[in-house]
Chains A and B, each alone.
Chain A
Amino acid sequence: MTTVGPPQPAGEKQLTEQQAIGQSAGRYRVVGRSPAHHDFVDKVKGSLHYAADWRLPGMLHGRIVRSQLPSASITGIDVSAARALPGVVAVLTAADVPGNRIVEMASGGLAELEVTMPVLAEGRVRYMGEPVAVVAAVTQQIAHEAAELVAVDYEELPGVFDVESARADGAPTVHEVGNTLVIWQIQCGDAAKALAAADVVVEGEYRSQHVEHAYLEPEAGVGWLENGVLTLRVSTQVIEHAATIARILQVPQSKVRVIAAYMGGGFGGKEDMTVEPYLALLVWHTRRPVRMIWDRQESLVASTKRHPFIMRYRTGGSSDGTITAQQVEIIGDAGAYPNLSPRVLFAAAACACGPYRVPNASITSSAVFTNNVPSSAFRGFGAMQVVLGYESQMDLLAERLGMSRTELRERNFLAKGDLLPTGERLDTCVEIGQTMHRAVALLGEPARPSGPGKVVGRGIGCNRHPYGRTIWFRDKAAAWLSLQADGTLLIRSGVTDLGAGQAASLCQIAAEVLGAPLDDISIYIGDSALNPPAGGTFATRQLYMSGNAVLHAARELRERMAPVAADLLGVPADDLEFAAGRVWPAGAAGAALAGGADGGTRPPDAGGSGGVSVTLAELAAACEQRAISTAHLSTWRAESGSFDPRTGQGDTFPDYTYGTHAAEVEVDVETGQVTVLRYAACHDVGRAINPMRVEGQIQGGAMQGLGYALTEDMGIEDGYVQAALFANYLIPNAQDFPDVLVDIIESGEGKGPLGARGIGEPPIGNVAATIASAIQDAIGVRPAQLPMTPERVLGLLDARASRDPA
Chain B
Amino acid sequence: MVASAFEYVAAGSYDEAVRLLADGGDEAKILAGGQSLMPMLNLRLAHPELLIDINMADERQPSVADGMLRLPALTRHRVLLEHDLVRRHCPLLAEAVRHVGNVRVRNRGTVGGSLAHADPTSEIGSCALATGAHVAVRGPDGDRTVPVSELFVSYWTTALAESEIITDVLIPVGRPRQGWSFHEMVRRTSDFAIVAVAAMVELNERADTIAATRVALAGVADRVTLADPELLAGLAGRTLTGSTGDEAADAAAARIAGSLEPSADVHASGDYRRRLVRVLTARALREAYAHAAGAAA
Contacts and interface: CB of A to CB of B under 8 A. Distances in A.
B2 interface: yes
Contacts of A671: 185, 275-276, 279-280
Given A141-B2, A145-B4, A670-B279, A722 B188 contact: no
Given A711-B187, A733-B188, A144 B272 contact: no
A65 to B, nearest CB: 14
Interface residues of A, number: 27
B130 to A, nearest CB: 21
B63 interface: no
B: interface residue count bin: 20 to 34
B190 interface: yes
A567 B188 CA distance: 66
Q: Is the interface of A mostly helix, strand, loop or mixed?
A: loop
A732 interface: yes
A300 to B, nearest CB: 12
A305 to B, nearest CB: 15
B187 A789 contact: yes
A791 B189 contact: no
Given A144-B1, A144-B44, A715 B266 contact: yes
A8 interface: no
Interface in A141-160: 141, 144-145
A722 B266 contact: yes
Nearest to A731: B188
Contact of A736 (B188, B272, B276): B188
Given A671-B185, A736-B188, A736-B189, A794 B275 contact: yes
A791 B43 contact: no
A732 B188 contact: yes
Interface in B103-147: none
A670 B284 CA distance: 14
Interface in B252-297: 265-269, 272, 275-276, 279-280
Contacts of B191: 727, 730
Nearest to A729: B266
Nearest to A144: B2
Nearest to A140: B2
A730 B280 CA distance: 22
Nearest to B188: A730
B267 A141 contact: no
A140 B269 CA distance: 38
Contacts of A733: 188-190
Contacts of A713: 266
Contacts of B43: 297, 725
Nearest to A724: B266
Contact of A711 (B188, B265, B280): B188
Interface in A677-728: 711, 713, 715, 722-723, 725, 727-728
Contacts of A790: 185, 187, 272
A141 B5 contact: yes
A559 B3 CA distance: 61
A351 B43 CA distance: 42
Nearest to A296: B1
A592 to B, nearest CB: 52
Interface string B1-38: 11111000000000000000000000000000000000
A-B pairs with the 8 shortest C-beta distances?
A722-B266, A715-B266, A735-B189, A791-B272, A670-B279, A295-B1, A730-B188, A140-B2
Interface of B: 1-5, 43-44, 185, 187-192, 265-269, 272, 275-276, 279-280
A794 B272 contact: yes
Contact of B190 (A725, A735, A794): A735
A791 B189 CA distance: 17
8 contacts: A144-B1, A145-B4, A295-B1, A730-B187, A733-B188, A735-B189, A736-B188, A791-B268
B13 to A, nearest CB: 31
Interface string A264-308: 000000000000000000000000000000010110000000000
Contacts of B276: 671
Given A671-B185, A790-B185, 12 more contacts: A144-B2, A711-B187, A711-B188, A722-B265, A722-B266, A725-B43, A727-B191, A727-B192, A730-B191, A790-B187, A791-B268, A794-B272
Contacts of B269: 791
Contacts of B268: 791
A28 to B, nearest CB: 42
A211 B278 CA distance: 31
Given A295-B1, A670-B279, A791-B272, A728 B188 contact: no
A412 interface: no
Contact of A728 (B2, B266, B279, B280): B266
Contacts of B192: 727
Nearest to A722: B266
Contacts of A298: 1
Contacts of A732: 188
A78 B266 CA distance: 35
A531 to B, nearest CB: 35
A789 to B, nearest CB: 7
A708 to B, nearest CB: 14
Nearest to A792: B272
A790 B271 CA distance: 13
Interface in A103-144: 140-141, 144
A671 B282 CA distance: 12
Contacts of B187: 711, 730, 789-790
Nearest to A717: B266
A673 B280 CA distance: 12
Contacts of A727: 191-192
A794 B275 CA distance: 10
Given A141-B4, A145-B4, A715-B266, A673 B188 contact: no
Contacts of A789: 187
Nearest to B246: A452
- Most interface-central of B5, B268, B279, B280 (chain A CB within 10 A): B279
A209 B43 CA distance: 26
Contacts of A711: 187-188
B185 A673 contact: yes
A725 B43 CA distance: 9
B152 to A, nearest CB: 21
B4 A144 contact: yes
Interface string A653-679: 000000000000000001101000000
A665 to B, nearest CB: 16
A727 B279 CA distance: 25
A140 B185 CA distance: 39
Interface in A452-480: none
Nearest to A732: B188
B42 to A, nearest CB: 9
A251 to B, nearest CB: 32
Nearest to B195: A671
A794 B3 CA distance: 41
A671 B272 CA distance: 9
A797 to B, nearest CB: 11
Nearest to A787: B187
Given A733-B190, A791-B268, A791-B269, A297 B275 contact: no
Contact of A297 (B1, B266, B280): B1
B80 to A, nearest CB: 20
Contacts of A730: 187-188, 191
A210 B185 CA distance: 24
A298 to B, nearest CB: 8
A455 B191 CA distance: 25
Contacts of B265: 722
B17 to A, nearest CB: 26
Given A673-B185, A790-B185, A794-B272, A728 B1 contact: no
Contacts of A715: 266
B160 to A, nearest CB: 25
A453 to B, nearest CB: 9
Contacts of B3: 141
